[in-house]
Structure 1
């Protein structure tokens, strides 16, 4: 496979080491409480006050500058055109591998954006809800390709984003259950005129070449700013295995869990099975479909040990 996406495009980014990035923020007081950070974290990822202050607060401030600029341009354009068009939501896309911490990043940003001076309303949408239901995936023999581009109803996702950017006041997004490992039937998240929308998912920066209905429209076309959460595959695989072990002792114990069969695995068995799943499914998807989209993001957050961001790359203006 070509290494173009791994090397050359990154030259279009300005790289900030962690401390260099942290120094961009002048805020000194703690922004999120211990309780808030605990709720935002996940079963395998805790959020320290330093991580918020060093990485996510400067990111939030940069996003605020971008949104303010977009609002200013909208207002000036209205005056020039002598129109009063409605400002549509500012959309942030967050991409990256399974187990890299996209969801935690999305929740952190949602909490921080709500603290902007304008107190905007912020909705968080995960693209898991736009997966085809398991019944359809089984019919198409795609269960072992779940998470690959062909397992998503991209047309439905694009129409959802089109409605958002068209200023539709009330939109419904499908929801997904990680417990049952399936889209929830007849259950939706209602979106009503938000100021900011965060779209999180492994597929959001992919160019959907197989889309026959909307051949030249991609999910990322609707983003005002996009972030790719990155890490070495060795670290991501370790995080995936650790999370699998933790879920074995928690969610997998529930009878309604899709993975209930794994509830009594030993540590060694759990590691062998999760490593096999990673290597046969997630590693392939990462290499073929997810990582090649990294250079399409406006920002890359590069993580190291313990999910700590060690480097920030910002696409040159």
Structure 2
């Protein structure tokens, strides 16, 4: 099959950076360079140019989707003769470890919250729904942390159900990357958001369909729009190891850090350990669970070697 035929049959329209940037139209820039600097993650740089050329057009697109979805809810309520109140618009963000999901999530949260309508935009990561380390160790899953089976899926589904039901206050557990575990008794409260962003490795992962045909909800069933952050595997691999080496010099030096024991080993030993983690855990998770969900996304942002988004693929309606 030639490339022209593949493009014609693809469910996506693909835009280069320049073409996508033209879709910004008159969307105003509402973030300063200082704010963008605070929102970017460790070893995940983002320039003001990228915010203007990639994220502002995306913000504009999402404003159309939110407006259309709200109109659909209103039409359904009129048909049913009921008023279910405000139903949050939920955005899912998926992709590999170290690919920049958190930066994208924070940038979108900041930009969407500064729309003229001043919507309330909340952000929750699925890390909080990981099973505690004690449970993972007891079940032999510590080397599968981040894999679908390492999450409390029922708790995550219950959280999203309450969000979509419009409950005034919904709590989610808190995860600490410092201690590398869920924090007992700590929660974050989400209060009546207009928009909720859910960021995580496997948020587009489907359940296995049951033979009996009964409904089994997927996390993605609750999404109104989904984004997959993509990059070539060798780039993600390099970013992962570079981030680990940077953390060795910073966060790992905190005595409370789960990885504190690696702060004083040699650079070569640390690099070898990071390479083993990548090969044994993160690369496997990428191939088995994360990458296969890419075609389920409404939008795919593909990064190049310098972390800049080089192409945008938008699902055709």
TM-score range, shorter chain: over 0.9
CA change 1:280–1:210 in 2 (3 A) is farther
Look up the match of 1:172: 171
CA distance in 1, matches of 2:162, 2:86: 13
Note the C-alpha offset of 1:87: 2.3
User: Any residues of structure 2 matched to 1:150-229 within 5 Å, and which?
Assistant: 150-209=149-208, 216-229=216-229
What is aligned with 1:306? 306
Q: Which residue of 1 aligns with 2:100?
A: 101
The residue that corresponds to 2:260 in the other structure is 260
On the 8 A contact 1:144/1:281 being kept in 2, the answer is yes
- Cα RMSD (Å): 1.9
Distance 1:125 1:174 in 2: 10
The corresponding residue for 2:71 is 72
SS in 2 for 1:306: coil
Determine the structure 1 residue equivalent to 2:117. 118
Shift of 1:10: 8.2
Cα distance, 1:61–1:28 mapped onto 2, change above 3 Å: closer
Alignment of 1:38 with 2:37, yes or no, is: yes
In structure 2, what is the Cα distance between the partners aligned to 1:302 and 1:9?
20
Contact 2:27 2:56 in 1 (8 A): no
Question: What is the CA–CA distance in structure 1 between the aligned matches of 2:8 and 2:239, rounded to whole Å?
Answer: 27
Tell me the SS of whatever aligns to 1:186: strand
Deviates more, 1:23-32 or 1:261-270: 23-32
1: CA distance, partners of 2:199 / 2:171:
16
Please list the CA deviations of residues 163-209 of structure 1 after superposition, one character each: whole Å capped at 9, or x if unmatched.
11111111100010000000010000001111000000001000123
**Structure 1 position 81, deviation (Å):** 3.1
Task: For 1:65 and 1:76, locate their aligned partners in 2 and report how far apart those are by CA, in whole Å.
Answer: 16
Structure 2: gaps (5+ residues)? 1-5
The count of corresponding residues between Structure 1 and Structure 2 is 310
SS at match of 1:242: helix
- The residue matched to 2:23 in structure 1 has which SS? coil
Q: Which stretch shifts more, 284-293 or 73-82?
A: 73-82
- Equivalent pair of 2:27/2:60 in contact (CA under 8 Å): no
Q: What is the Cα deviation at residue 26 of structure 1? A: 1.9
Asked if 1:13 corresponds to 2:12, the answer is: yes
Q: 1:210 to 1:178 in 2, by over 3 A?
A: farther
TM-score for the superposition, normalised by structure 1: 0.94
1:141 aligns to what SS in structure 2? coil
Please report how far the alpha carbon of residue 76 of structure 1 lies from its aligned counterpart in structure 2 after TM superposition. Answer: 2.8
Alpha-carbon offset, residue 9 of structure 1: 12
Which residue matches 2:281? 281
Contact 1:249 1:263 in 2 (8 A): yes
Tell me the alpha carbon deviations over residues 219-246 of structure 1, each in whole angstroms, 9 at most, x when there is no partner.
0000000000000000001000110011
Distance 1:131 1:235, change over 3 A: same
The structure-2 alpha-carbon separation of the partners of 1:28 and 1:125, relative to structure 1 and needing over 3 Å to count, comes to closer
SS at match of 1:205: coil
Q: 1:314 to 1:244 in 2, by over 3 A?
A: same
How far off is 1:265 after superposition?
Answer: 2.7
CA 1:10 to 1:280, structure 2 compared with 1: closer, same or farther past 3 Å? farther
1:23 and 1:266 map into 2 onto residues whose CA distance is 48
CA drift at 1:73: 2.0
Runs of 4+ in 1 over 4 A off after TM superposition: 7-10
